[in-house]
Structure 1
Amino acid sequence: MSTGAASSRRPHVLVVPFPPMGHLLPLLDFAHLLSTRHRVPITVAVTPSSLPLLSAFLASTPLAALPLPLPDPSAPEHAGQLAPGTHHALLAAPLSTLRGPLVSWARSHPHPPTAVLSDFFLGSAQLVADDLRVPRVAFYGVAAFTTAALDQLWNGTLPLDPNSPAVLSALPGSPSFPYGHVPSVVRSYVPGDPDWELVREGFLLNSRAWGAVVNTGEADGGSRGALLWLAGCPARSVLYVCFGSMYKPPPAQAAALGTALEASGVRFIWAVGADVAVLPEGLEERARDKGRVVRGWAPQMEVLRHAAVGAFVTHCGWNSTLEGVAAGVTLVAWPMKADQFIDARLVVDVHGAAVRAAEGEDDVPDSGALARVFAGVVNAAELGGLRDKVRTLAAAAGEAVEEGGSSWLDLERMAKELEAASGP
């Protein structure tokens, strides 16, 4: 693309999401803000398997173009399909082959993209931006703490020693994490494996991005039955339990959790997702007066913001952590894998706005001890100033996204800089 062509371009952002829902939805939330608030035309490059998830986005984002009809590397008919249990980061390898189709589409478009916005798992989109000679913005759907940790880990010596803690010496205070608490995308890396080398190359390419955005988006939707039940519950009396859309508790763990919920005596909502097999037998019947089970996709933000909900048992995925903080509920941290141990460290130790329940996807905690934690966070026993810290964080989060707040102003500045980058 010639320099002369660049001088007459109008802003147009090519958005390249990573398919899993926890990555896709926050990036679409951000793209929606960019499009509706700043009138920036958006084209979203998605594979057919993600297309159904975009209907609401396209309906609410008038400037968004139709998605690109790209081949789907994760579909069964393609060699890039992942076997069950494979780390989803390996989707980045087959998705990196879309560089050619994306560049061809962009060069033939009457209004070529002036910038690329992609998920941080898709650092290969930097090569698309390089080919088009346009800036790329990397979107991080994790905490800034995790973003910095990943940068140091991927740029360090790999693989890590499983018998030694990972010390992040480049970060303030040189935080140290046991090997099992290091993000699983780093621990799963296999040196010399072609697909994993592509994953690592993608993370390293993020350092060449023109800019970076750290996620403050929200994602929710689903069943409303629990909301009707909440209407009859006293304020701050309900414990909400959800471990995200990708984690299925093993039977022993689910049994301990179910026993603890019953023994705690607190009201609860347990969002189990699509797999109801995790429910301990007879729990719903026994706890009919005290609890509700939500199947499928829970309306998480609406539940968390309901006046009856006072605490949230969470795996500390970043989307859920942000949603809990924004709602002003006490977080009960049970990190399982990925970046979740870093997120838990942030909210428990750094901000003092959460308590620990357990840790690890193989942990089966004592149900009696777990019940006492649940009863304590709901009944405000032994909480000290924790709820004050929660309210302070929630107020800060709310102020940041209001007009004139720090996040609002950051988006304003980024939109103006992208527009300037599209010119001569």
Structure 2
Amino acid sequence: MSSADVSSRRPHVLVIAFPSQGHLLPLLDFTHLLSTRHRVHVTVAATPSSLPLLSAFLASTPLAAALPMPLPDPSAPEQAGQLAPGTHHALLAVPLSTLRRPLVSWARAQRDPPTAVLSDFFLGSAQHVADDLRVPRVVFYSSGAFATAVAEPLWNGSLPLDPNSPVVLGDLPGSPSIPYAHVPSMLKAYVPGDPDWELAREGFLLNSRAWGAVVNTFAAMEGDFLDHLKRRFGHGRVWAVGPVSASGCRARERPTAGTEELFSWLAACPARSVLYVCFGSMYKPPPAQAAALGAALEASGVRFIWAVSADVAVLPEGLEERARDRGRVVRGWAPQMEILQHDAVGAFVTHCGWNSTLEGVAAGVTLVTWPMKADQFIDARLVVDVHGAAVRAAEGESAVPDPRTLARVFADAVDGAELAGVRAKAATLAVAAAEAVEEGGSSWLDLERMVRELEAVAAA
């Protein structure tokens, strides 16, 4: 390659994906944005179970290519026996850490080798790939800045934690005290001395050595925590680029059978009158919890959409027939972003996974929080206590709230006068989210800054 070719070289980013939908979708959204707006070449290394989503991404991202990972995929159904039932999915990073040698070999064989590595924060072992190639690594945080600021020092601190004591984080904005039950579940699942967990922990520790960090958030929502991360990491290369779901990436598309009737029904509903209920595509509520939730929806009198897993056994018997005039049930995948952005939807009962939290915030609906695990308690705390744009419904996977109490929360979230202030704050936060990704907004500018840094590296 001539010196002229080197000096004008565009960045080429090797993207290493974690095979979990909640991690993969925002990473693909961001990669699509990076590539289509700034003509950055990307190669996405992914496991076989990711290929359906990756195919849709490639169709909408012309400068992208796929690199199938030469490893049986432990997240695929046929490989499920490789992980014991109940094993935390963070341990999927263990078999993926063995890809260091093949990825380095692939990169060195390319005529246009990668100039940077971008990987999910669960894949800290990608730091070794970047070190071997002598290129910078950018870590992508699919969780929020608050949750990242909570977890990062705990991985670097004394583990395991005392289950009888709260975790006090005096260095964080507001010096939050986190009850043990609300600590991100991967930290509580850590087993000292277990070889797999020690390797997983090493990966999280390696994230602090990354050259840069991208967070799927925006400054108006988490500015104080972003500033904290910059101080914690010791450099200014912490870029807030979210909400990345606004990028228009086709990776989120799914078959839409049955949705035509759903949106016809929504079109006939008054503005902001519908309560949308979804705890993520993988969660199946236990029978008692499902019964309480169904009874609360009926007693609330509000219009609702309840998205459940494909297993219809979780539904209270006869609910669909009794609530036919004012409710709909979606089985399996639901077009969540489209539902939330519909004018008829006014509130969202959510488990507070970060993707769902951001989608609800961007839509301007009132969030009704029911965190279950992972970083969801931290996300709920952010929208309820920090921003006042949400209300609590319940918490925990085993919670079975009183249906009458829950029904009042649902009704108030949609049109209760006492929650007018919450709805106003939710609307304000949605405006800030939209402004962040528009030209000249905080997330738009952060992406510009990141790309200039990558271009300087590529040209060096």
Shorter chain as denominator, the TM-score bin is: over 0.9
**Equivalent in the alignment of 1:252:** 288
Task: Give how far 1:273 is off.
Answer: 2.5
Q: Which amino acid aligns with 1:304?
A: L
Question: Which one of 289, 293, 302 corresponds to residue 338 of structure 2?
Answer: 302
The 5-angstrom pairing of residues 18-167 of structure 1 reads 18-74=18-74, 81-167=82-168
Deviation at 1:69, TM superposition (A): 4.7
* Range with bigger deviation, 158-167 or 69-78: 69-78
Q: Which residue pairs with 1:409 in the alignment?
A: 445
> CA 1:420/1:291 → structure 2, altered by over 3 Å: closer, same or farther?
same
- Cα deviation for residue 72 of structure 1 reads 2.5
CA deviations on 1:218-261 (whole Å, 9 max, x unpaired) are: 25645413222101101111000000122211111111000000
Equivalent residues of 2:275, 2:348 under 8 A apart: yes
Question: Structure 1's 6 and 242: CA in aligned 2 closer, same or farther, altered over 3 A?
Answer: same
| Aligned match for 1:284, one of 320, 330, 354 | 320
Check whether the contact 1:49–1:72 (CA below 8 A) recurs between aligned residues. no
Secondary structure in structure 1 of the residue aligned to 2:418: coil
Answer yes or no: is 1:333 the counterpart of 2:369: yes
Q: Number of aligned pairs? A: 422
Q: Read off the aligned partner of 1:239 and give its amino acid letter.
A: L
Residue 76 (structure 1) shift: 6.9
Aligned partners of 1:39 and 1:88: how far apart in 2? 33
3-state SS of paired residue (1:45): strand
The verdict on how the C-alpha distance between 1:112 and 1:80 changes in structure 2, with shifts beyond 3 A counting, is: farther
Offset from partner CA, 1:258-312 (integer Å, 9 cap, x none): 0000000100000002222211111111111110000111000110010100000
User: In structure 2, the residue corresponding to 1:292 is in which secondary structure?
Assistant: strand
Aligned to 2:388: 352
- CA contact 1:220–1:300 (8 Å) conserved in 2: no
1:234 aligns to 2:270 (yes or no): yes
Amino acid of the residue matched to residue 396 of structure 1?
Answer: A
Contact map agreement 2:165 2:180 (CA 8 A) in 1? yes
1:367 to 393, 403, 423: 403
Shift of 1:167: 1.1
Partner of 1:264: 300
- The answer on whether the counterparts of 1:220 and 1:301 sit within 8 Å (CA) in structure 2 is no
Deviation at 1:80, TM superposition (A): 8.1
Partner of 1:313: 349
Secondary structure, counterpart of 1:31 in structure 2: helix
Within 2, Cα distance between the matches of 1:191 and 1:267?
48
SS at match of 2:244: coil
Q: CA deviation at 1:8?
A: 7.7
Pair 1:79–1:234, CA change in 2 (3 A):
closer
Shift, 1:423, TM fit: 2.5
Q: Distance in 2 between matches of 1:209 and 1:95?
A: 18
The percentage of aligned residue pairs carrying the same residue is 78
The 3 A distance-change label for structure 1 pair 421 and 373 is same
Instruction: Provide the C-alpha distance between the structure 2 equivalents of 1:230 and 1:77, rounded to a whole number of angstroms.
Output: 39
- Matched to 1:45, the amino acid is A
Q: Do 1:73 and 1:80's aligned partners in 2 also have CA atoms closer than 8 Å?
A: no
250-259 or 373-382: which moved more?
A: 373-382
- Contact 2:34 2:40 survives alignment (8 Å): yes
CA distance in structure 1 between the aligned counterparts of 2:12 and 2:88, rounded to whole angstroms: 33
Cα distance between partner residues in 2 of 1:58 and 1:37: 15
Matched residue of 1:362: which SS? coil
State the Cα distance separating 1:109 from its structure 2 match. Answer: 1.1
Contact 1:46 1:70 in 2 (8 A): no
The whole-number CA distance in structure 2 between the counterparts of 1:220 and 1:185 is 29
SS at match of 1:66: strand
* Separation in structure 2 between the aligned mates of residue 228 and residue 363 of structure 1, nearest angstrom: 34
Mark the runs of 5 or more structure 2 residues left unpaired by the alignment.
Answer: 217-242, 246-251
Q: Is the 8 A contact 1:325 1:394 kept in 2?
A: yes
Question: Could you say which residue in structure 2 is the equivalent of 1:322?
Answer: 358
